Structures are given as C-alpha cells and as structure tokens.
Structure 1
C-alpha cells in the first residue's frame, strides 16, 4: 500500500506465539490474539487487520501490521517470532497403465481404489462440474469428515458431492496486499479460474471418464490414480498478473485441511526459503505429519541445474517429474511416395494437408527460417521446411514462419523433446536432424516438392521411458543436503487431466481453442501421482506411518527404464543419477509389499533440526514445542536413501546407522548386496539381518569412504552413486537404497 507523511507502510505478517504464555483472563487463544492486536496503538490511527488464527500448523495468527505495530508486538509476553508475508508460485491418462495399475491385481484392488481416503489438494481451486469429479456409484461421505463446501463467486454448497466432499477458499492475505481479486482475474471462491488445481485434483483422484482426448491426441479413458478417493480443495493460488499464493493463505488452507480431517495432502507450489522455519509449507507439513497425514510436494521446475530443489524438508515426500511411454506425432509423406517420416506435433486440428507445396528457400538454405529470412510472397499457402540450425532456436524459427504467413512448417531440430503443446499453434511438425537430412536429399532431386501431413497420431510404448524431465529440479537440497532429494520420480510430462472449459487454452493463429481436458507438464503433475499412490497404500495398510509409506515407495522404485537401460536425463541424453531421480521411478504394485521399511519418529526430525543448528526459536516455530533440549542432535535420519556430502580433502568417510522394520506377517532373513562405482568403498555390518514377527526390527551400520584422488577436478565425482540392496533369503523382497555423493555449497 502507498505511504505518505501521514500513513505508515503496512504489510502482512505471520506471528508465532507461545501458547503456554496465555494470560489467565483469556478463555481461548483466539480471544488472546484478538486482544493482543487491539492493544497495538498507532499514532496515525491505523488499526491492525486480523487475517487468520491457526489451530494446527502453528501457534499464532497472521495480520496486516504497520512498522509501529511490529515494534510493539515484539515486546508482548508470549511473542516468539514474526515472519513477513511471502509469495509462492505453482510448480500435469495413460499414466495409470504406465504405472502398472490394474483392475483385478496389485495395488488398485488391494487399496480398494483409494476408497475412504480423503486427499486435500492445496492449489488454485477446482471446476466441480468436470466429469472427473462425478460421484456415480460412490458410497456416502465418511462420517469422520468435518469439512464443508463454501459459498462464493459462482460456487455454492451444491457443487460438492460424494467425490468432491469439501471446497474452501483462502484469499484474505492476497487481498490485503493490494492484490484485490476481481473478475476477470479470478473467482473469489473455490472455483478454479486457471485450471491448475482442476488438473492436479483429477490426476490424484479423478473418477473414471470414458472417451477423453486432447484435440484428437491421447484418446482413451481418464482416471485418477486413486479413483475412489475423496477430494477436498483448498484454494490458495489466485491469478492476478501471475498465479501466486500468499504464505498466510497457504498456512490457513493447510490448517483447515488438518482441522477438516484429510488423510493426505498434495501441494504443487513452492516458496523460496532460507530455513524450514520461514517456509510455510515446511511448517504446515510438519504439523500434518505429526497427525499422521501424508504430504507430497512438487520438487519445482528449475532444472536441470543442481541445488534447485524446493520443498526439501525431510518430513515431506518430494517428487521429481519424468516422461511416460507415450508420444504425440504427425506423419509426413513426400510426393515421391518413398520418403515418409514421423515427427512430434500437438497441432490440435484434424487438418487435411494433402499435396501442399514444400518450400525450402533460395540461395542459402542453412539460413532458412532465421529472423526475417522468409518472404511472404514465396511461402504463402506453402509448408516451409526449416533446416537444422544449431544457431537458431526452434521457437524462433516458429515465430518466423508465423510472421511470414506460411501455411505451416517442418522443423529439423534436436530440441523436439523440449516443445510443449502450446508451441504448435500452426501446422508444425518437429523432426530429428537425421530425418531432416533425408528431407534435404529429397529436395535436391525433386522439382515440384509437396507433402501430405497427418496430424493427431498417438503412439504408445515409446522407448526409453521414463526419462527425467529437463525442467525437473535437482538435488541436493540447499537447506538440508544430508537428506537426498528428490525422493522419487513420477509422471510429469504431457499428462492428460481435467481442465477448466472456459479458459482460452490453445492458440491457433490469432484465435484460441477451449478444452475440458488438457496435456500439461511440470513437477506439479508429478506430486498428485504420488499422493494418489500414497492414498492406495494407506488404504491397504491403515497402520503405516507417512515415513513407512514413503519408504515403501522409495525402496521399491524402478531404476531401469522400459528399454532395460539406466534412467536417462532428458536434458543431456546421458544416464541420470539419484540427484535427478531420487530412489527411482515410482512402482505402485511393488510398493504394496516392500518387505521392510525405514521408520522415522517425530523426535528424529526434531533432533535433525537440532543438528542443523536451528535456534530454539526456529525449532519452536516449526514444532510448536517449548524448551526442547537438543541432547540428541543427529543429521543421520533413518532415511531410505544415503548421501555423502564431500569436503575439500581427497578422502571423505561417513558412517550411517539405520534401522529396518519388518512389515510382513512372517519371519525373514535378509542379506546385503552392494554395488559401488570406482572411488566408493562401502562396508555394511552386519551383512545379514534376521526378523521375527511382523514389526520386528533390526539395525545395521554402513561405512562409506570416498576417494577423490585421481580425479582432475573434484566436481567430476559429483553424482557418482551406488546401491545398497537387502535381498530376502528364499523370498521375493528386495529393499534397495541409493548411495550418492555431492559437494555442499
């Protein structure tokens, strides 16, 4: 807000209070906080504005305050800390088949398709009329549910049903910060304007919908990962100039989700952080974890650089994005009838391109499609062939074709994998440089070159898949590098899911098309896949903790792709590492029966914070615990993965201590198997673990020694990794954990 000589600058703040310091006259904390705000004076007469009182995620409230209010607040007994408002950004159905989910075997029937599980989605709202949220055949809402369906702009209680059982909106903070929501910017209600929340919700738990497609691509039946699970939407993201979430609103949404009784949460957004104490998602998810709520979060889209992970708190399951075995193509046939090639395309119209002239420039074909290289008179009503040119980006070539007024284009490029549906706003086809060479050879022998193009082709079984998406953020975590992040990889590229039908989605020349279902990409799309799998696992194993669910997913994840090779990094075409994909790509059916799990207690996380040298104030902000004594500070969490943070010496040695828990109804014996690269020595003691009845435990130590001598640069060793696998003797279970090295920054 503006300031002047008679008006102080105001801002929104999150205030942490010590609940044990409540004065005797107050009957509850809400009245104490209200009285505290009322007591704050201001020489200009501007009163504080109360936003939210929090019940679960933190002890305290949020409010709009002036500088003089803040100065007074810190002197009030019971005040712990105040953090200024911050803003987070968002980070998208064949995937159920790609994940191996089947109607009559494996995790789907074992987890009752997610029945009775309630998933809270913290996002941009929901479009309740979408067929993905129909409640046909669903039983009554669980009696333990305490939430409701709020009324608001173009939204009322009748929009909820037995699938979408709750919908709320949290916008107080973003409104007070002069970002007032007004049409057509967004709906001041749980209704989704942008589409992101509708997409993530239907991915996690959408109902089965037949005959779904994206303008002729990806035709089939759409279904969420946990199709019988219930959904509750907590809208905290609002579209202004950008889609943003205020920290105060996000905490309020998470707080309400806990109060309402969700079993799981998924957040596909992130905040910048200096510590976990100033990150609203880290703070809110700690409270959720304490109450047995599984929390899945997107890893962010800042890859492929290292140390770009967000949502890296160890009590959060952090998810990276991978490709699936499905590609979208166009077939190009040339007039000689001999050369036929396929290339990537999402052009959304069943356009008949038959016998259309092919243009390839004049004197210097290598400069074809560079800026201002095409003459409108030459290319009108023709398909332009743009030669491979490593000096000109393919999107710049696309802009030149559009400027010239050509009918469409074929691009020879090595960047086709980085193109998204919205890039194909004209009849465009992206082919490989090798196929581009075939086209050039054809052009040299043809006087009247022409092409036929067939769009809307979907190919399944593409290999290799999965690959790590180039945009997916990479580890280690800047804030806690001693825990390997991301935890796991899940589908996050060209995911088909529900969308808002009244938003202009696909550009076609100067016009736009609308759609009920769209293809979207991001770690935003990966997180709801994992929360859906977690809902199935929680339904099948009601006594499993969030740590056990995460462990089951991690230790059974796939590290081999569908071409029987190592999972590749799409950014450079080379083998990925656990810094890219964590423990591997999620395999739901294997996670149903992991054999052993790594459990983590709440106190272990607190001791981890102590080892990070967090102050007592920061620990109190995150845990809401007063006077916690850090007598057992420990960076070595009982985590299902291992990371060695290297120093500047030639040798680094670290000893890990772990405890495994048996989760099957039988006795068992496991033996360790180690695979380690050159320069990494791994010793496990003991090499054999024996388990008695269900929930019996056995511990081991693992010493890892890294020898950096012989490497030209220490950075050459970053990402080198091995595996520790526990094989069940005379049994089927294999419990695998990655061991990776990295330098701290």
Structure 2
C-alpha cells in the first residue's frame, strides 16, 4: 500500500484542482444565443435585463457562472455569452429560446483608382453630382484606424451631422480626441476573442480602436480618405491619394485583431455591426469573411440583413480563394459582393544590356533607387537547377556582386528570390508571366520580372556575349497600362454555394496594388535585413475592392438619398462595363482569356454611369423572406435572420427581382428551361420607353415578353418575363462549372439609358 504524506496529499490535491480547472475551462465556450423577444415577461424593462436575469438564474455543478459578453439590439434578437454544457442544457429549456450557435472566426480578405474609375472634380459625373459623398457616413468594420494619418484630416469639412449617435472610445494608445469631423467615430470589440484565450498586448495589437496592422486604415482611406498630396510607396505611384467619397464621414469599428491568427470572432463582428447600426451609419464595408454556412449561422449575413432593413447599404469582399469556381464568400443576396480587378497603373524598371545593345522594360516594385550600372550578369546555362534558381542551386562564389538571370519555376516564386538573396547576388532578373509577381513584398532585393518573350532575348544576349553586363533603372510608374481591368487571379469566383441561383459576385472593383494609408509602425516589405516603414502602401485583395464599391455607393446615396440598398446595387450592376481599355473583353488574369460573369458579375463598376441608371431592379424586405422560404429554410432559421415572430411562406420564391440571371444546370440533362419574372422601376423624372435586346450564345435561346416596356413617370413600374432555354448539345461548356452566358439589354427609345444584365448558365454542385 502506498503511503500518503501530508506533503504528497497536498500535491495530489493541487494536481487534481488543476486538472478540474482545465476540464472546466475546456467545457466552456462562447456562444451567440437567438431569442424570441416577443415572449419577454412584462416584469422586465428591457431585453438586456431579461437576458442577464436568465444568465444569473443558471446553476452549474462546478460552480462556474455564465459570462455575458454582448446584448444585440439591431442585428439579431439575443446576446452572446460564455457558457458551459450544463448552462446550454438549461438555456435551451427556457421560454423564448430560439437557437444557439458557437462563436466562429473570420479573416480579412489603395490611389490611381479614382481616375481609373472616371472620377473628375472638374467634369460632370459622380463626384460633383454625388457631392463627393458629403455628410454620408461610412462604417468600416475592420482592424481599426490610424487616426493621425493625413487621409483622416478634416480640413474644410463642416460640422458632424446631427443624426450621428456614435462615439470615439479611449483605449490603449487611443484617445477620444483623435476623432474629428472626418473620423467621427471609433470603437473596438474584442470580448469574444478574449474568451478564446487571445491576449491582446501592445506587441501584438492594441486593445483599442487603434489599427495595429494597417488593414482597416487602408480600407477606410480607400473609401473616403481626404486628399493627400505627394503620397507614394517608396517612390512608386506618386500623386494625390484620395478616397472614392472624399467628403464622406468615417466611423471605424475594430473587430479584427492581428495577433498570430489575424481573426475576428463572430460575436465581436456582430457587436460591431450592431453598434454601427445604432450609431447611424449610412453604409458599411466589411473586408472579411466567415466560413460559408447557412445564412442564419453567418454573422455577416445576419448583421447585413438588419442593416438592409434600415436602408444601410452593405458592401463585402468576395474572398481571395480564386480562381476556382464556387469559392465565393458573403453571397447573401442582400449583400453587395465585390470581386477584385486591376487598374491601369503598373510599376517597372528599365533594363539595358551591353551598354545599349538591348533595352527591356520589366515589372519591379523594388523600393530603393539603387545604382545598378555595368554589373555582370550570371546565368546557369546548361544546369537546369541553376537556370531556375532552385533552393541551394546557386554558389555564392559564382554570383557574388552579380545580377542573376533565372527562368520562373512554377513551384518557386518567392523561394527563387530568396535563393538569389541567400547566395549573395546583387539582384535578379526573372523571366515569368506569373501573376504572383504583382505583390510588392516579393521585391526585397533588386528584382526585375520580364516576360518570357523578353526573357528569351536576355538569354540569347548572355549566351552570345563574352562579358554580359546590365544597367537597371528602378522607380518607374507606368500609367495607362493595358489591358485593364483584368480579373485578379485570387478573386473568388461564383456561383455562391449557399444560394447559387443568385449570380455572384455582383460587380468588379479595383483591388490590385492599391495605394492607400497605412499604419506607419508596420513593415510589409524589407530591403536586406532592414524592414521598411511607410505612411502609404500598396495592397492587393478583394479587401481593397469592397471599400471602392462602398465609396461609389456613398456618392449614389448622397445624390439619391431615397434609394434602397437594392436600388444602389442595381445601379452599380446594370451600368457596369464589360470592355477593357483595349476595347476587348475583360481578361481573366489567371487564364489570359476572356473572363465570364462568374468571375466579374455584371462587370466593372462605372460610377458616372451608375449615377443615372434609368431603370432599377428594386427588392423589398419581404422579397428576401420569400427567397429564404424558397430555400426551404425553417421558420426558426427565417426568424433568426429576419427577427420576425410572424410571417408566412405562402409566396416562397427563389426568383428574386435581381439585376442578373443564372440558370443552374444538371450534368445529367442536356436541356433546361427557366422563366424569370422581373419588375423594372423608372428612376428618371420623365416618362420613358425601353426596348429589349438579347445577346445569346449558341445553345441558349432567350425570349422576353413584353419586348417593349412603358413608364408613365418617375417610380412607375413595368413587369416582364424572360424564358431561357439551354441546350448543352449545341453548346460546349466554358469550364467545369460554367456553361454559357449572354446579356439582356433594355435600350431607351429616343433616349440614352442602357440597362444591361448578364444571363449565365452554370453547373450545380
């Protein structure tokens, strides 16, 4: 028998206590609880008090009490809390309980772009007509804000609108005095993350609205930054940085924290959206996404529905999981979902060989004006490993002080640049047409990327020369580059998994190498071992495209304050353009061939045309509920999303009055027919007549009835039906998930308005 001394007994009790504590901690979780507030007893003065009373009444055998996090007043009826399994069992039996969802996590998905979008303060168009977004309030749900940035100065701005109910919170390295007439609000939401064990320290992030990483600062300044002269990225993209709606007000809601995981908790995101609605924002932009689930489990979809009901336009990034199909995020039909495209600005270096024998312009974003003159070239000719600059292929004795020429290795990219750097070479020239070299972070050594065609010329020069040498001139910004726009290779593609009968993304907006404000303590690039800090940086992602779209929407909202969110989205979609600056079809950067509506939606946003669309496809709140009924959502699911206790599904309908059309195909059948029913609304002051025309590919037959519609005046309506027949026996599919596509266009008779919508056939998963 083992003998227990007092010390050993104390030790075992301590171990047991630690084990029990660990077990209890593992049993706890953060949850979002949906309640039916119509069942609240009359004895409570508020829902908040009701929720707290419920939590305080819960018992637990381990003595752990529930912890309340947030009460939601707008985005949903309910609250979030830290609960044990015993608490969950008790909660599910309480009157008014609807549903519970475990907290989940989302991740975040710059300025030549105003000019590229056709915005000009000295000409007619969206800027003067939209009053530059004056007094419209944009809520940016992101990583916070760097308030000292020149992009958030309030010079020339009038008083904050009286309807604003927000606040500027103080916190770690953030004071309420940082807000002004431009940045009118700043708040932070981190309770959910903290309950997951995230420790927010100044070495990882700020427990305040201050932006540690820079992402939120970048998106906010893109949407509504004040003009800043001579902004640039280490000499590239010099010019005046200005937001799309430069006179709009900004409110920052920090829900993303960068720690080790760069994540946002669903409970925090909902709290941020809830507060933005309460504060009185007119529009929201979210450059983040959560895993695709049914809509009632997706915090952004739930929050955006509540915002839509109150007339708040919500723009979201489509995600960066392209180029494959069915990779869309934020696909709820009440959200305007934005894909990413390029703009007509590129960054270059001029490379001269042999003192003038050959000169080539290649891509470069190397952030220093270094002298590369009469430097020897190295090429591992005859050794494939060295030609590709593969890992440890280069001998430092061979390449020291030289420029290395490499052919791109499909599995290489940044690893090739690192190999050149490791071997101690002066720099590199890489022959590649890979889209990966669009990112500035690759250019941490003197690097120039040339096309494969030019690369062959370089190789030929090196082989034929006894002493190959090169000169390089960096810091060249190219304006008017062609073709542009192109669909970014990373931009997520449609259809959307959860509602494939709605074409997504909705539109394309600038999202590649966008210059905008940044947190100056954060280095995204380096030269050698030196990390470089900057006030303005180039970033790529659909994160950059969403604030462009919300900025344009702010201009429309300012010019048309009575328009619904659906009306604004319709104007953006039906006026979007389909041709690039070579007057050719918009190209998919990944394939090099024409893109499809499942890549770019209705096309690339065109702010000046969107200001006066002629006709719109409007959608009421009840239409969305009918759509959810059509998806066979249960009454509980619909109640969670809509917060309605009473509704019927008598008019279930998957055919929303959307400005685009998609026919889902079954791989087992060759022929499919579907009839769409739509209602058009006239938004000009005079009567008008429109005639329908259809561009249809082989294998697609489209019939529109009536083919001519009449409008008596502003806000008058006209209905039409469109039947689409698809015969795959006559049409070769475009890809494994898209069949064919065409366009329906309504032309104004004796007028100038053109209202265009894509018609797409796609294979269902």
Report the TM-score, using the length of structure 2 for normalisation: 0.96
SS of corresponding position for 1:154: coil
Match of 2:11 in 1: none
Match of 1:744 in 2: 764
Match of 2:65 in 1: 47
Does the CA-based 8 Å contact 2:435-2:590 persist in structure 1?
no
Does the CA-based 8 Å contact 1:578-1:719 persist in structure 2?
no
Match of 1:347 in 2: 366
> Within 1, Cα distance between the matches of 2:609 and 2:177?
40
Match of 1:251 in 2: 270
Shift of 1:309: 0.4
> Within 1, Cα distance between the matches of 2:573 and 2:125?
17
The CA deviation string for residues 98-118 of structure 1, in whole angstroms up to 9 with x for no partner, is 000010310100010000100
Which of 545, 550, 553 aligns to 1:534? It is 553
Shift of 1:505: 2.3
Match of 1:467 in 2: 486
1:75 and 2:93 aligned: yes
Does the CA-based 8 Å contact 1:194-1:503 persist in structure 2?
yes
Match of 2:165 in 1: 146
Which of 154, 170, 176 aligns to 1:135? It is 154
Match of 1:558 in 2: 577
> Within 2, Cα distance between the matches of 1:154 and 1:19?
39
1:660 and 2:680 aligned: yes
1:12 and 2:30 aligned: yes
Match of 1:400 in 2: 419
Does the CA-based 8 Å contact 1:366-1:389 persist in structure 2?
no
Which of 203, 228, 240 aligns to 2:259? It is 240
Match of 1:686 in 2: 706
Does the CA-based 8 Å contact 1:341-1:435 persist in structure 2?
yes
Q: 1:308-387 to 2 correspondence within 5 Å?
A: 308-361=327-380, 363-364=382-383, 367-368=386-387, 369-386=389-406
> Within 1, Cα distance between the matches of 2:404 and 2:112?
33
SS of corresponding position for 1:318: strand
Q: 1:106-505 to 2 correspondence within 5 Å?
A: 106-361=125-380, 363-364=382-383, 367-368=386-387, 369-386=389-406, 388-390=407-409, 393-416=412-435, 418-505=437-524
Does the CA-based 8 Å contact 2:699-2:727 persist in structure 1?
yes
- Segments of structure 1 that go 5 or more residues without pairing to the other structure are none
Could you tell which deviates more after superposition, 437-446 or 71-80?
A: 437-446
Does the CA-based 8 Å contact 1:375-1:404 persist in structure 2?
yes
1:725 and 2:730 aligned: no
Shift of 1:27: 1.2
Structure 1 segments, 4+ long, off by >3 Å, are 1-8, 389-392, 416-419, 710-717
Match of 1:675 in 2: 695
CA RMSD of aligned residues (A): 1.4
In structure 2, do the counterparts of structure 1 residues 219 and 292 end up closer, same or farther at CA, with 3 Å as the change threshold?
same
> Within 1, Cα distance between the matches of 2:138 and 2:347?
31
> Within 2, Cα distance between the matches of 1:352 and 1:206?
35
Number of residue equivalences? 744
Q: 1:599-618 to 2 correspondence within 5 Å?
A: 599-618=618-637
The CA deviation string for residues 557-595 of structure 1, in whole angstroms up to 9 with x for no partner, is 000111001111001101100000000000000000100
Shift of 1:717: 7.4
> Within 2, Cα distance between the matches of 1:627 and 1:538?
32
The CA deviation string for residues 42-92 of structure 1, in whole angstroms up to 9 with x for no partner, is 111100000000110000000000000001000000000000000000004
- Segments of structure 2 that go 5 or more residues without pairing to the other structure are 1-17
Does the CA-based 8 Å contact 2:731-2:740 persist in structure 1?
no
SS of corresponding position for 1:239: coil
Shift of 1:531: 0.3
Which of 40, 62, 70 aligns to 2:80? It is 62
In structure 2, do the counterparts of structure 1 residues 389 and 116 end up closer, same or farther at CA, with 3 Å as the change threshold?
closer
Could you tell which deviates more after superposition, 173-182 or 518-527?
A: 173-182
Does the CA-based 8 Å contact 2:699-2:730 persist in structure 1?
no
Shift of 1:712: 7.1
Shift of 1:604: 0.1
> Within 2, Cα distance between the matches of 1:53 and 1:321?
35
> Within 2, Cα distance between the matches of 1:593 and 1:167?
34
Does the CA-based 8 Å contact 2:408-2:430 persist in structure 1?
no
Does the CA-based 8 Å contact 1:200-1:525 persist in structure 2?
yes
> Within 2, Cα distance between the matches of 1:279 and 1:658?
28
> Within 2, Cα distance between the matches of 1:8 and 1:360?
57
Which of 22, 29, 38 aligns to 2:40? It is 22
Shift of 1:379: 0.7
Does the CA-based 8 Å contact 1:206-1:223 persist in structure 2?
yes
Shift of 1:251: 0.3
Shift of 1:12: 0.4
Shift of 1:286: 0.2
Does the CA-based 8 Å contact 1:150-1:167 persist in structure 2?
yes
